[in-house]
Each structure stands twice: as structure tokens, then as C-alpha cells.
Chain A
Amino acid sequence: MSPAADAGALLRVEALEIAFRVRGGDVLATRGVSFEVRQGETLGLVGESGSGKSVLCRALLRLLPSPPAQIRGGRVLFDGVDLLALPEARMREIRGTDIAMVFQNPMTSLSPVWPIGDQVTEGLRIHRGLSKSAARDRGVELLRAIGIPDAARRYDDHPSQWSGGMLQRAVIAMAMACGPRLLLADEPTTALDVTIQEQILALLADLQAKNGMAMVLVSHDIGVVAETCDRIAVMYAGTLVETGPAAEVLGNPRHPYTLGLMRSSPRMDEHATRLQPIPGQPPDLARPAPGCPFVERCTFARDACRHESVRLREVAPGHASACLFPESVV
């Protein structure tokens, strides 16, 4: 990355290595993952199921269960401070205030037994010491900001009374309550309908523009990140295989996996009747082989791919690919 880019980095992840100790060996969930998110920017993290997106997000907040999770190396610099080295008490403060997270399933992100409003403002009372009535006023404001009609009355509703889309809004409001500088959204729309997905993405973009916060938006759908993100990072089998500005990555993909993801997505803008799937399946993370992790499924693979080690290398300013032969990808 260019030094100029470093200056504005809010979050900088360096060579993060996470493993799960399981019976029959270690699962390497992320291997040498490095990226950065600048102030006010949205980074889209895409990759298929099991590629390590959720593990990565949770690791940033130190939310992984340990054991079995183990951080084997690397640093997570937030505002220049290594989160991995902080005492747990300090980390607890950062969670929810400076960095907040939205999870995939809105139905299980809220407790079914408490009023939604109280759950949304819980962070304000804990971290900001707001009184119950002050929190309520702020909570109603928050619910209004996320587009809940009649917010004052619905503050006391229970989760079962709201639809999935509304609950996900509430979860977002909860994350936004303390005005975080970084929001980690782990597949916030995967459990929702396309129409509701559109509303939620609009909401996130709107909140981000208003508060100038940075966001990491995780999705397995490359279309979702295409529409919302400034930059994209493509993840495969625990490694980042391509990073760069959204327009650049989508317009000029330089890794066969990115290209494969794009080709296999059903599209509305061209008359395709047959999709082009990526053949095969992702490799077993418990048995990492030397060489490029994508080699078994890659149509561009050559002999060198099997043993030469791959790492992200810049192919254009700000655009990096982990393919040994990025020029041949078309």
C-alpha cells in the first residue's frame, strides 16, 4: 500500500493468522490477512461460505471463543493501537463504543424477552451512563432515524412483534447508539428478502454518510458489495486474494476467483441463460497445501501454481491480486 494511504487508515490489519484447534488437526481460518479501512470508507469483504469472513470480523473485536480459536500472529491496529494487545477491560469499552458489530441473523441478535427499545439503548446506559429516561429519549430518536414509524409507541415492543427487516434495523440502531467510528456488518442482509435488503443497505449507507464512520460490509454476494462499497476485498480459503477500489476490482478483476464469482452470479443486465459456475469446492482448511489455494478450481492454473507461494501484489495503484499470473485473467 502506498504511504499516503496509511496516513488515513482507521483500522489496519497486519498478517493476521487465526487457527482453530480441533480434533484431527488445526483449521487455519485466516492466513496472513492484511488490509486497511480508512476513515469514512466502506470496505466490502466478499467470499464464499467458510472462507473466514465471520472469523475475521469476530477476531477484530476479540470475540472468538478461545479455545478453540488461537490468534497465531499479526496485529490489529485501530487508531494506531494494537487491539490484540489490549487488556480485556479496555477492549470491552472499545466494543460498542468505537467499534460496533451487526450480525447476520436479526432474529437471534435480540433477546426475545426484553423490549426492543431497552435493548437498543442498553449500550448508552452502560458506556455513556445515561439515565433511563434520557436513554429512552435517545432511543426513540434512534428508532426514528432508522425509519421505524411511530417510534415512541413501538419502543416497548418485543422482538416477536417485528418483522425480520425491522429487527435488523433495530440491531443497526443498537450498533449505532454510541456513535461508533467503525461498524462491522457481517452479512447484515443475508437472512432478508431482496427488497428488504435494499432498504437495509440504503439505511447503512445513509447512516454512514451522516456520521462519517467507516464500515466493513461482509457478504457472500458480490452484487451487494458492488453497490455499497468504496473498496472490495475478496476472501478465499482464509486468504485475501484480491483488494482494490470497487470499480477497479469489478471492472478489471485480476484474480480468477473474483472473475469466477462475478461470472457465476445470476445477472439481470445481460441475456445469459447458462451460468458459469466455479467448478469444485473450496479446499479443506485443515489440510493447507503449498501453492495457490485456488489451484484445484482455477481454469488458468499452471504448474507453478502448485508449489510457488502466493501473496497479494499490486497490479495497479491500490489494486492488488494474489494470483501468480494476474495478466492472464480475462
Chain B
Amino acid sequence: MRRWSPSLWIGIGLLAVIVLAGLFAPWLTPYDPLRQDYGAALRPPGPGHWFGTDSLGRDIFTRSLYAIRTDLVIGFWTTYVPMVVGVLLGAYAGLVRGWFDTVLMRVIDTALAFPFLVLIIVILAILGPGTQNIYIAVFLVGWTMYARLARAEMLVEGGKDYILAARTLGYPTSRILLRHALPNIIGSSIVFSMSDFVLNILLVSGLSFLGLGVPAPTPEWGAMVAEGKDFMQQAWWISTLPGLMIVVTGVALALLGDGLTHRLGDRHVTGG
């Protein structure tokens, strides 16, 4: 019986590499992520600087490694916490329907009626700037997407007879939700989280640029990509590596999620 799917292995492998690279960044590179060196500004990739340097002469590779620390935390709070909460709420609403569903949908419709960014800026205006408040703001808006997605899937899945069969066998709702329904409906949320992760990193960097988030010199992928945009003609390499890092991390997390789904479905295998 297949317990560990290839996606789980690859996901874990990739993520482990990324996390370790973040942790051991000081040992993996001789440069300081913050030190500016105008003499070495805008160097193309070469022996000294594998991925080149930026306009302030900082080593891109070094900064990309150090940024892992910042960005995994950002991703966790802006993508995966909203995802878990949203999927659970949405799936539960889709399963039990009734007033809970009605209320949840009203809330979601209201939130989605405003442009995403506007809403976040309004929330930030109320809470004040700071990374923590960005997480809160993104969370407050972000979970609704997942809730809607999971609810829609659940409405279809909940009509299937195996869910009904579980009900006629008297299984409690939590068991039906977590063991029977979730593994079958979470796929689309995981796929969505991949692009969501990328967008959230860019969003946070955009907010940082407005002075609302991560302060300037701290290495952060989104900010590096944004900076590189201005130098696209002369120095394409500035955005390349951080951009790649965002995508690879998103893919790794999605593979991990996909693999975990299979595990979730098989979890109650005992002695089978």
C-alpha cells in the first residue's frame, strides 16, 4: 500500500533544502547581506558573485539565502494560516449548511466585495503599520478565498453518497469532515495556495515599499524582485534568483500539501 507519495518526498526534500539553506546562510556564503559595496554594484553573475550583485553592490545569492528566514515566516502567516482556517470553516459550512453557512457566506461576500488591496490598506490604517499587523490584515482578508473554494467543493462532495453513508452510520460531523471529506476536497485549495504564496510575498514587499511592512535593508525576496524591476534592461539577474526562490518554495509547499492529503486519507490504515 502506498503511504508516502512521491509528491510528499519531493516536497519535504525541497523544503528541507530551503530551510537548511536559510539556517546555515552565514556558513554558505562569505558575504554580508547588508553590506554595501559601490565598487561591486550591478555585477553580472560570475565567479565572485554567482548570481550577480544589486545596485548597491550586495551579493544577490547571499541576500536570497538570508531572505529565506523572513519569507518563510511571511508565507506561513499570510498563506498557510489563512488556508487552514478558511478551508476548515468553508468545508464545515458546506457540510452542515444552515445558518452557519448563511452567515459565513454573507461575511465572505462582504469581504470580497472590496478590492483586496484596498481592504488590506484600510485594515492597516486602523491597526497601524508593522509586519504583525500586515499578517493580521492579510489573514482577515485571505481566509475568505479558501473558505469559498472549500465550501464550493464541499457542496459537491457533500452530495455524494459516501458522505451520506457516513452520516447514516452515525459518524460525528468532525470525523466526516476531517477523515472523509477533507482529503477529497482540499486539492484545489492546495493548488490555489501555490499562486497565493507567490502573490502574498509580492504583496508584503509592496506594502514594505510603502513603508508599512518589512523595513528596507532586511533581505526579502519580494522587495528584491521589485527592486530588480527597475534594472530589468541593464541587470536582469537582480530579480531572477529571488523570483525563482519564491516559485520553488511555493511548489515545494504545494507538493508537501498534496502529499499530506494522501496521508490524511490513509491515516486510519491500521494493520490493513
Whether A and B touch (Cβ < 8 Å) is answered with no
B interface residues, Cβ below 8 angstroms from A: none
A interface residues, Cβ below 8 angstroms from B: none
